[in-house]
Amino acid sequence: MPPRLLPRTLTILVVAIVIAAFAGMRVAAADWPQFRGSEQNGISTEKGLLQEWPDGGPQQLWKAELGSGYSGMTVVGDRLYTMFGRGGETYVGCFDATSGKELWSFNAGRQWKDSQGDGPRSTPTVDGEVVYAVTANGVLFALSTTEGAELWKRDLVKSYKAKIPKWGMSGSPVIVGNLLLLEVGGPEVLMAAFDKTSGDEVWRSRAGNAGYSTPYLMTADGVSQAVFFTAEKLYSVAPDTGKVYWQKPWKTSWDVNAAMPIFIAPDRLFVSSGYDTGAALLEISGDARSMKVDEVWTSREMKNQFSSSIYHDGYLYGFDNKNLTCLDAKTGERRWRERDLGHGSLMLADGHLIVLGDKGQLVLVEASPEAYREKGRVQLFKGKTWTVPTLSGGRLFVRDENEMVALRVTK
């Protein structure tokens, strides 16, 4: 029999276990491993953040030269991953999240250029010791997180005759189990899944034009689904096989469906597009054998051009074109609107919206349907800012097309 523990020894052991458990929870909560965070909803679970910002904004920890593009930042542990264009080439970069020092960069091919801005659009996805990234030109890479060595790649144009959208491929890779899901787009395949270890194709589904959104994982009424927001339709498919559960036509001018849908448990999905299209709340019913989708309400009060909305405590917060807006999720009724932030982006943490306006204004806003209540503002950049902020370990990471900045937002 094992020796009996003395009461004091037992107490110390229990306390140590509890501390270790909470430490592990903090580490898990701090990671931001993919576009819009671990749950793809733009919401951080971190607490103890500043509820108001001082004059001049939160403390700046570091600033790093970067390059053009709108790629978001993913953070796992103390490593940050993003993409940028520099000198006519596209790079996947890894940085020390505590200092901003560049640890490695991988040349992913020629730089994308168009009238809306140069460089990559999608955000890297980190899974274990691999980072996955897709360029605006449609080349998918799997790289080692330690040194950026290439593990495998897929040229979607060469392999599938992919038709790159007018403003570049923007959807980010999504990992589910051993699969990587990606919207391809073109005459041969619209949606596909690859073995995340080898890059081999596992399934393909339909044909058609790709949108600019990232596949979205959800479980509605017990059925796991991946929602693809393509150029012309919403598709819900089985993540492991590509079987289509339901589809709904959704088309805008320029075929710009960019903002990710938002799941509202147990069975509803919010979807929105810009270009004078608007939003809808959809209700999903049925089972894996037969499913359908119906409209609960439609609204012209929320037109997400490219920035995804946030769902919090029964309300939707997002950009109606250039206006930060709050809607009642049950009815679609508008509660308030703020007009001076342009085509911005936002995330939510500790009861507050962290909003980045399109001209470099970083703003803290209380997440309340009662009124727009600003709790802090700083002019952080001079250039165009179309990249959603990232929060990890009490550090807020923000970028424009020239540099990346880290701010401390803990008390």
pLDDT in tens, 83-136: 999 999 999 999 999 999 999 999 999 999 999 999 999 999 999 999 999 999
**Domain contains 125:** yes
pTM above 0.85, yes or no: yes
The residue among 171, 189, 212 that closes a domain is 212
**Is residue 55 domain-shared with residue 116, that is, in the same domain?**
no
Average pLDDT, stretch 150-160?
Answer: 98
Q: Give the pLDDT of residue 205.
A: 98
User: Is 116 inside any structural domain?
Assistant: yes
124 and 52 in a common domain = no
Give the pLDDT of residue 9.
Answer: 38
Residue at 157 is within a domain = yes
Is 405 contained in some domain? Answer: yes
User: Which of 210, 161, 200 is CA-nearest to residue 180?
Assistant: 200
Beta strands in 117-158 (DSSP E): 125-127, 130-134, 139-144, 150-155
How many CB atoms lie under 10 A from the CB of residue 103? 16
Residue with tokens 């290439």: 150
- Tokens 């990234």 -> residue: 133
Q: Does 116 share its domain with 155? A: yes
Domain annotation covers residue 272: no
Domain assignment of residue 364, given as a range: 48-67+314-327+334-385+387-411
Q: What is the pLDDT of residues 43-76, one digit of tens each?
A: 999 999 999 999 999 999 999 999 999 999 999 9
378, two tokens: 């700083």
| Among 183, 181, 150, residue whose Cα is nearest residue 169 | 183
Here the CATH number for the domain that contains residue 108 is 2.40.128.630
Residue at token pair 């403390």 = 59
Percent of the chain exceeding pLDDT 90 equals 91
**Which neighbouring-strand residues pair with 286?**
291
In this structure, the answer to whether residues 147 and 61 fall within a common structural domain is no
Helix (H, G, I), strand (E, B) or coil at 40: coil
Q: Running DSSP on this structure, what letter comes out for residue 111?
A: P
Residue 251 maps to a domain: no
Looking at residue 23, what is its pLDDT?
Answer: 34
Distance CA 140, CA 217 (A): 20
User: Which residue type is seen at 337?
Assistant: R
Q: Are residues 96 and 205 in the same domain?
A: yes
**Domain boundary at 159, 190, 212, which?**
212
Residues 63 and 152 in one domain: no
CATH number at residue 400: 2.40.128
Clarify whether residues 59 and 181 are in a common domain.
no
Give pLDDT tens digits for 206-217.
Answer: 999 999 999 999
Biggest alpha carbon–alpha carbon distance for the chain:
74
CB 198 within 8 A of CB 142: no
What's the pLDDT at 411? 86
In a domain, residue 200? The reply is yes
Domain boundary among 180, 212, 244: 212
Residue pair 213/260 in contact by the 8 Å Cβ criterion = yes
Number of domains in the chain: 2
First-to-last C-alpha distance (Å) of the chain: 49
